[in-house]
Amino acid sequence: MSNYPVRSCEWKRQLARNGFATIWMANLCALASIIPAIPTSVYPDPETDHVSWASFVSTMKPLTQKFPGSPRCLVLHGMLLESKGEIELAKEFYELELNKPIDTKSTSKGDTGETNLRIRKRLIALHLHNSPLPDLVNQTNQKSTIDKTEECIFSLGEAISLLVQHLDTVYSDPESWIQLAETYCTLGLYDQALSALEDLIILQPDNTFHLLRYAQTAYTARHFELAYQTYLRVVELGERISDAWRGGPVRRAAIGLKLCINKLEKDLKKDQLSSLIDQELIKCYSKDWVPLQIGLRVASEPTRKALKSWIDRF
């Protein structure tokens, strides 16, 4: 889907960073040492950094001869179609591979048919990147939000269905749970996103970033008490707000707590916590942090002024 900001999972982070052709060639070069028949023209020209599609296509023949029926070669073939812009053909190819019967006699039986996780993830990525943006402003109910995205050949509804099928098979895949939660959030289905994040937290209960994501989603869904309790859990598992880690999950959880306290019923305990958070945040932003890059310091003077102005509002 064009301009669709879903890039958390590893297979899509690589896509966003490098593009199809670079990833395709990286996989190809990894096999080059054991396939001497690969033509030298497949590598980029040192002057133009250009690789012809004819070279890519000609390379598939020695690959398929050396590894007939290899799941990795199948994925490379599909990615080649994607990189050429033939996304509908790539979709048909992936679906055809997933619908093949599982070959119990094959040495790679864990990567055939519906058990081919590489093919399944590529198909999911196709739906996520090529689906139309949902109309959240004019939506009438949650079901219609998903139904409207299913009118196109690529849809978020189908992506969700494929992700759920994948997680039914491979439950312990945290990146897919994150992707499912983000897709639900894109559709405005925050309660479903919270459910997906709960499974993620079961897998990695001590990951403060997952807890922070859960708290932020709960706040967006206006479950302020749940968000408040989860932000407290993030602070409990982390270091002090003003300690060494600058800008980490604890810092964001502290700011989230301030927002939740402003939404919840006032009491003495929450007021004391709010004052403590103010002191810690001001202490943290009162000095320069370790620069992330040469000449860049995160806690700049405008940042300090913005923080103090924000604290005064509460």
Q: How many Å apart are CA 182 and CA 162, to the nearest integer?
A: 14
Tokens of 281: 């945040």
Structure tokens at 138: 């004019």
Residue of 279, 277, 274, 278 lying closest to 261 (CA atoms):
274
Q: What top-level class would CATH report for the domain 131-205?
A: mainly alpha
User: Per-residue pLDDT tens for 70-122?
Assistant: 778 888 888 888 888 888 998 998 988 888 887 666 645 557 777 888 899 99
Task: Give pLDDT, residue 247.
Answer: 57
Q: 3-class DSSP state for residue 293? A: strand
User: Are the beta carbons of 217 and 200 closer than 8 angstroms?
Assistant: no
Rg value, the chain, Cα: 24
Q: Residue 205's CB: how many other CB atoms inside 10 A? A: 11
205 φ/ψ angles, rounded to the nearest 5 degrees: -70, -20
pLDDT averaged over the chain? 75
Q: What is the pLDDT of residue 149?
A: 46
Residue carrying structure tokens 């139309």 = 132
Chain segment 24-38, per-residue pLDDT in tens: 555 555 544 444 444
- Give residue 243's region: left, alpha or beta (phi > 0; psi -120 to 50): beta
- Using CB atoms within 10 Å of the CB of residue 184, give its burial: 0 to 12 exposed, 13 to 18 middle, 19+ buried: buried
Parts of the chain with a pLDDT under 70: 1-57, 103-110, 135-151, 239-247, 286-303, 314
Domain ranges of the chain: 1-115, 131-205, 217-314
What is the Cα–Cα distance from 177 to 219, expressed in whole angstroms? 19
